[in-house]
Chains A and B, each alone.
Chain A
Amino acid sequence: MTTSLLVVSSMVVLGAAEMGDAPTHSPSILASFYIFVLASILGYQLITRVPPLLHTPLMSGTNAISGISLVGSLVAAGLEQPLLCNMLGFLAVACSMCNVVGGFMITDRMLKMFKKEEE
């Protein structure tokens, strides 16, 4: 728990430092790397606490979350650029949107099935 707190607070600090220079979009590889490492540690800490009972919903849930690649896909699909790039972006948007919508829906459908006592 303490580790999680430590990791979260470091992430917030780094995130805030990042936001400071957001408008200029300076490439901040080091900060990105820090965030990646800290988020991985935090993820590890959080996921250790997920019981085996929920391992399948965990997989489909994190899958829906990793559909966040949608954010990158949207940019790729919407920029003023060669048409081929837009087409690739379009395919990427379709793939990640399918993961996001389907992933969250089926995770909810699964979690609804887990009931403690029968009525």
Chain B
Amino acid sequence: MTVEFKEYFTEAAYLVASVLFILGIRDLSSAETARRGNFLAQIGMFLAIVGTLLNQEIVKFEWIIAGMVIGSLTGAVMAIFMPMTAMPERIAIVNGLGGAASCLVGISEYYRHEIDLPFKMGVVGFEVMLGALTFTGSMIAFGKLRGLVNSSPVTYKRQNAVNISWAVLMLALIACLVYFPSQAVLFYLLLVMAIAFGVMFVLPIGGADMPVVIAMLNAYSGLAAAATGFVLDNKVLIIAGALDGSSGLLLSILMCRAMNRSIVNVLFGAVGQVIRPSGQPAKTSDREPNKIMGEEAAEILARAKSVIITPGYGMAAAGAQFAVRELADLLKANGATVKYAIHPVAGRMPGHMNVLLADAKVPYNELVEMDEINPQFSETDVVLVMGANDVVNPAARDSEGSPIYGMPILNVDQAKTVIIIKRSMSPGFAGIDNELFLMPHTHMFFGDGKAAAEKLVEILKQKET
């Protein structure tokens, strides 16, 4: 192959790869075509890699092979053995790795002293900054999801002022670098500041806001990849990075909308600290909820003709999805219709409940989105709330003074009977009491989600025989 032919082949491979990525994402618009889409994207990636390896300037293949082997093995082992319950953590890790890759490429570009154009220097600055803060931010998000780092907001005085000035300072450093690209001190200072910033901006964000954070880090790792594309003048990198960036951005907007909060409030609001206004005692102590035990709960469920199960993070934390599905099977065998009501921000990442329930082999046509299921609650005999709290709190709909007022919720309180499986009366993430727990048609079944669901299964099975 002549040099010229190789270069044309590379460009053609990149073009086809870009098209395949676009078609792949388009196919994700329905569960039937989604696997084909994933396959198309894989072909695209393969072409892009082959096209790149034909590059004349690439001579040292030993480093490439070593990196590819190590990366492929780690990736494959993680993909095969990681349980679905660890999905949020996995997403956090891979966002971090994507950021790290862009950051490392940026550093090596800078170190080689090939940066002559001011524009290119600016983009390298952005690439390294985004890459580094995505890496450390994702690691903190991972720590929060695993419980290694305190998952409630970590705050101190004037935190937002510090964070904002920190970010402004980083942008100023990039601006300086554009004029004085040879000042390596500025470059490495930027790197260190970005590494620290990742930690600083995720620490004050609470556990239940993780869906937004994860989606945003996803966007950042995409933007870092797009910046790499600008540096290397590589179109496929720009296109793929932009696709990833817009996906992350859109998901974070959707998550914020589902909490009726602005992205600024999620990032800087430090929501989720347990603050109770002084002098205002907890309301829950005045009235006693209706407590029930397993037998009674099973009795109510056995009589129901229609049941909607409403899962929340509690189901994920307890690993109760398999027991829940078994329970649903028994209820269906008993002649009841069973559906699942999925709130967009239930769990710790976009789509968390769907993945867990699909893993438990719940058919996806039973997983119903909020807008579709809300009108159906009033005609439902029993709603079983499984470790969800704020997303079913009627205060968000009815009481104007509530901090979560305006957040769209699942209207479970409109059902004829509500059973809530929960460990205790403790308030949810937002630190707000939930009126639902004290309503006359609500029954509290206290216990660990998994144990409680298994208990119900056991009792219902005995009834059958």
Number of A-B contacts (CB under 8 A): 407
| B45 and A64 form a contact (CB under 8 A) | yes
For the complex formed, measure the closest distance between the CB of B166 and the CB atoms of chain A, giving whole angstroms: 25
| A62 and B361 form a contact (CB under 8 A) | no
| A22 and B7 form a contact (CB under 8 A) | yes
- Given A25-B233, A66-B240, A116-B365: A78 and B79 interface contact (C-beta under 8 Å): no
**Among A15, A93, A101, A104, contact of B235 (Cβ-Cβ < 8 Å):** A15
| A101 and B61 form a contact (CB under 8 A) | no
Chain A CB within 8 A of B375 CB: no
| A68 and B237 form a contact (CB under 8 A) | yes
Flag B213-255 by CB within 8 Å of A: 1 or 0 each.
Answer: 0110010011011101111111111111111111111110010
**Among B12, B35, B58, contact of A79 (Cβ-Cβ < 8 Å):** B58
- Name A's interface SS: helix
How many residues of chain A get a CB closer than 8 Å to chain B's CBs?
94
| A65 and B63 form a contact (CB under 8 A) | no
Q: How far is the CA of A18 from the CA of B312 in the complex (A)?
A: 49
- Name B's interface SS: helix
Q: In the assembled complex, which residues on chain B have CB atoms less than 8 Å from the CB atom of A90?
A: 63-64, 66-67
**Among A35, A74, A100, contact of B64 (Cβ-Cβ < 8 Å):** A74
| B67 and A65 form a contact (CB under 8 A) | no
Q: In the assembled complex, which residues on chain A have CB atoms less than 8 Å from the CB atom of B45?
A: 64-65, 67-68, 70, 100, 104
Question: Of all chain B residues, which has the CB nearest A66?
Answer: B244
| A62 and B64 form a contact (CB under 8 A) | no
Chain A CB within 8 A of B300 CB: no
Chain A CB within 8 A of B274 CB: no
Question: Of all chain B residues, which has the CB nearest A37?
Answer: B242
Flag A82-100 by CB within 8 Å of B: 1 or 0 each.
Answer: 1011111111111111111
Question: Of all chain A residues, which has the CB nearest B37?
Answer: A61
| A32 and B235 form a contact (CB under 8 A) | yes
| B35 and A69 form a contact (CB under 8 A) | no
Q: How far is the CA of A93 from the CA of B109 in the complex (A)?
A: 14
Chain A CB within 8 A of B74 CB: yes
| B79 and A109 form a contact (CB under 8 A) | yes
Of residues 327 through 368 on chain B, the ones whose CB sits less than 8 Å from some CB of chain A are 342, 344, 349-352, 354-355, 358-359, 361, 363-365, 367
Chain A CB within 8 A of B111 CB: yes
| B41 and A47 form a contact (CB under 8 A) | no
Q: How far is the CA of A72 from the CA of B48 in the complex (A)?
A: 11
Question: Of all chain B residues, which has the CB nearest A68?
Answer: B240
- Given A63-B94, A87-B63: A71 and B49 interface contact (C-beta under 8 Å): yes
Q: In the assembled complex, which residues on chain A have CB atoms less than 8 Å from the CB atom of B276?
A: none
For the complex formed, measure the closest distance between the CB of B81 and the CB atoms of chain A, giving whole angstroms: 10
| A93 and B71 form a contact (CB under 8 A) | yes
Q: How far is the CA of A79 from the CA of B245 in the complex (A)?
A: 28
Question: Of all chain A residues, which has the CB nearest B258?
Answer: A52
Question: Of all chain B residues, which has the CB nearest A102?
Answer: B75
| A74 and B49 form a contact (CB under 8 A) | yes
**Among B7, B100, B342, B358, contact of A114 (Cβ-Cβ < 8 Å):** B358
Apart from A32-B235, A58-B251, A71-B237, 17 more pairs, CB < 8 Å: A27-B233, A32-B238, A43-B25, A56-B91, A56-B349, A60-B87, A62-B218, A69-B101, A72-B228, A76-B108, A77-B63, A78-B55, A78-B63, A80-B60, A92-B104, A98-B71, A101-B75
25 sample A-B contacts, Cβ–Cβ < 8 Å, listed by A number: A15-B15, A19-B8, A35-B238, A35-B242, A36-B238, A39-B242, A39-B243, A42-B243, A43-B245, A43-B246, A47-B246, A47-B250, A52-B254, A53-B367, A58-B351, A63-B95, A68-B237, A70-B48, A72-B232, A97-B70, A98-B75, A99-B71, A102-B94, A103-B94, A113-B361
